[in-house]
Amino acid sequence: MATPTTDGKSTHDVHGGLPIPRRAANRPVPGAELLRGWYRELVLIREFEIRCMQAYQDKKIGGFCHVYIGQEAVAVGCVAALKPQDPLVTAYRDHGHALARGMTARACMAEMFGRVDGCAKGKGGSMHMFDREHNLFGGHGIVGAQTPLGAGLAFATKYEDEVLNNGKSSRVTLCFLGDGALNQGAFHEALNLAGLMNLPVIFVVENNGYSMGTSIHRGTTQSHDLSSKALGYGIDSAVIDGMNLLEVYHGMKDVVEKCRRESRPAFVDMRCYRYKGHSMSDPRKYRTRDEEELWEQGDPIGIFEKFILDQGAITPDQIKALQKEVKAEVRDAVDFADNSPVPPMSDLYHDVYREPWGRYTGTSEPRMYGGALNPPTFRATREGDGLI
C-alpha cells in the first residue's frame, strides 16, 4: 500500500489501531496569520532538532538527547489548543514542547549546551526543560514520572478555583507521555486519581509506535485500542492523527474545551511517528527503512505546507523567506549557546534549597543556617496570595 496512513490500514502498521476520526474537514479554517505562525513553529522545531543532532555530533551537547523530528505537529497543535496559563508537563523528548510553548531557541539551545543562559542555567540538560514564564513544568527523564505530576498540577488549579478563588475550574493541564509510559505503574495510579477526583488534566499519549526498540505491540496490551486503558478509570478518550496539524488542533480543541467545561480528565491516543532513532545512539534495527520511508511521505510539515499553499494562506516565496528566517534564528541560537559562559562552580551549591537562611554549603559543613540562630518566621496566606 503506497499511501501512508495513521489509521492502521498500511502494510507498515505500527500502531495497529482503530481508524482515526477525521475532524478538520468540517471545521472553519483558522485565519491565515495563525496558519503561518503554526507553520513557522513546525519549521522552527524541525530546524532546531537538526542543529541539535549536529551539535551532538560535534560534542557540544552531552548526555542523552532525544529529538522530536516527525512529531512536530503534536506539540504545535496541542499548544495552540491551550491558553497560555494552562500548565503543561512532558517527558524527556521535550524540545518541541518547550519551543511550541514559547521558550526561545536561544534559551533551549543554551540549556542543551550546558551554559548559564540555558532555561535552567545549564543544570537540567536536554531531558529536563523547565520554563516558569511559559507554564512548562518540565521535561522529566524518568518514564511515567510526569503523569502523577500532571494530575497534581490539575489538582492545584482545581484547588485554586474551588478553595482560593471560590470559582469553577478554569485551567486545564496538559500532560504528555510516550506510549512506553503506558506500562508504568505511576501512569495507572495517576489516571485513577484523576478520574476519582475529577481533575482537569488531559493525558496525551504521543503514540509513535515504539519505546526505544520495542514496538507497542510487543510491550503493551490492547495496543490496538488504547482507549480501553482509560475506560477502566472512567476517563473519556479520543484518537487523533498526530501527523496532521489541523487534526491535532481541532481534535484537541474539543478535548480541551470539554475538560475545561466539565472539570473531567481526558485521554488522547495521538498517533504519530518519530523519524529518527530513540536517542543519538540508536541504529534502528528494529524497524525497516521501508516503514520509515512510508511515514516520511506523510511528513507533518509537508502535509501542512501543502494545505496552507492550497488555502492561499502563504505563497511559495513567503515559504522560502520564512525558512531562511528560521534557519537564521536557529543558527543564532547555536552561536548564542556556544558563546554563553559555562556555569560558574559556585552554581553547584545553588538551588539545592531555597536558602531562606543563607548559602547552602553541603552536609559536611553545617553552615546551612548561615549562622542565624532563629529561622525566619513564615507568614500565613493572605487575601490575594495566588498560585503560579
At closest approach, how far in Å is the CB of 28 from Mg ion? Answer: 33
Q: Which does 377 bind (CB under 5 to 8 A by kind): another protein, ligand TPP, Mg ion, none?
A: none
Coil, helix or strand at residue 178:
strand
Contact status, residue 203 vs residue 118, Cβ threshold 8 Å: no
Closest alpha carbon to 139 in 161, 122, 152, 124? 124
Q: Which of 82, 181, 230, 248 binds ligand TPP (CB under 6 A)?
A: 181
- Selection from another protein, ligand TPP, Mg ion, none that 128 binds (CB < 5 to 8 A by kind) is another protein
Site string for another protein, 265-294 (x = CB under 8 A): --------------------xx--------
Does 251 contact ligand TPP by CB under 6 A? no
Residue 144 touches another protein, criterion: CB under 8 A: yes
Contact criterion met (CB below 8 Å) for 228 and 200: no
Residue 93, contacted partner among Mg ion, another protein, ligand TPP, none, CB below 5-8 A by kind: ligand TPP
| CA 194 – CA 152 distance, rounded (Å) | 9
Report how far residue 271's alpha carbon sits from residue 109's, in angstroms, rounded to the nearest whole number.
28
Distance CA 137, CA 310 (A): 37
d(CA 254, CA 233): 20
Total of chain residues touching another protein, rule CB under 8 A: 44
- 17 belongs to the binding site for Mg ion (CB under 5 A): no
Nearer to ligand TPP, 123 or 128 (CB): 128
Hey, which residues does 271 pair with through a beta bridge? 207, 241
List the grid coordinates of 222.
Answer: 490492547
Q: 100-134 burial by CB neighbour count: b if 16+ within 10 A, else e?
A: bbebbbbbbbbbbbbbbbbbbbbbbbbbbbbbeeb
Which C-beta is closer to ligand TPP: that of 169 or that of 220? 220
Q: What is the DSSP letter of 161?
A: I
- Tell me: does residue 219 bind another protein (CB under 8 A): yes
- The pattern of x and - marking residues 274 through 293 that bind ligand TPP according to CB under 6 A reads x---x---------------
Select the residue interacting with another protein from 26, 364, 374, 381 (CB under 8 A).
Answer: 364
- How far CA 310 is from CA of 73, 314, 316, in Å, comes to 18, 9, 11
Binding-site ranges for ligand TPP (CB under 6 A): 93, 141-143, 178-181, 206, 208, 210-212, 274, 278
Binding-site ranges for another protein (CB under 8 A): 62-64, 114-115, 120, 122-128, 140-145, 180-181, 183-186, 211-214, 218-220, 285-286, 342-343, 345, 347-349, 352, 362-364
